[in-house]
Structure 1
């Protein structure tokens, strides 16, 4: 089992910090290279760069939730959900289809582990 995971290219799990401006304020975000690659793919789908995507995600998160406790962790979860939603068919594999063109409710309906189910699963364990 472990061979599936340990055979990963070590550059994928090397961390790299990037400076991103969020409303004129330079912020350093440290993520593993794999996550930077996924963020680049997500951004490219909608004609953005990673800094623009980070600003958009940050703004929408603040609007929805208020304060942002750990933005780097949030970005990692975004990447994981993006990949999981592609596997479930909610987000097309075709990277030429912009994410902004998708119906969010339809995409989220394909999610295998929605937040409420995860919380219920933890309580049952």
Structure 2
């Protein structure tokens, strides 16, 4: 099983630092290449480039009142959520559907419902053992 992970191309976990200008300030973000690739996929869905996506994610997070003391961790979680939401069928994998056209409220509600059902199943399973 672990061979699937340790046998992967080491370039995937090689880190790369990119400088990005946000609100007139230049900041550096260091992520593994696999995360940069996922961010490129996310950005492409809405016809953006990665700096535009990061700027939008940052601004919307601040608008929501989130503390982004560790922006790189936030970006890693965004990447994992993107893949997870696709695997759960909550956002389409097709590039023809932009994220902007999706109802985030509907997606988040469906995700919450799926998570609730998963917790109930785990609770039932634990009760049977």
Cα offset for 1:65? 2.1
Provide the residue aligned with 1:90 in structure 2. Answer: 90
* CA–CA separation in structure 2 for the residues paired with 1:10 and 1:19: 23
CA contact (8 A) 1:31 1:72 kept: yes
Q: How many residues align?
A: 115
Q: Structure 1, unaligned stretches of length 5 or more?
A: 118-125
Provide the residue aligned with 1:45 in structure 2. Answer: 45
Secondary structure of 1:26 counterpart:
strand
TM-score between both structures, scaled by the size of structure 1: 0.85
Which runs of at least 4 in structure 1 moved beyond 2 Å after TM superposition? 110-114
State the structure with more CA Rg: 2
TM-score between both structures, scaled by the size of structure 2: 0.83
Provide the residue aligned with 2:105 in structure 1. Answer: 105
Q: Structure 2, unaligned stretches of length 5 or more?
A: 120-129
* CA–CA separation in structure 1 for the residues paired with 2:115 and 2:39: 21
* CA–CA separation in structure 2 for the residues paired with 1:50 and 1:86: 19
Establish whether residue 8 from structure 1 lines up as the match of residue 8 from structure 2.
yes
Secondary structure of 1:110 counterpart:
helix
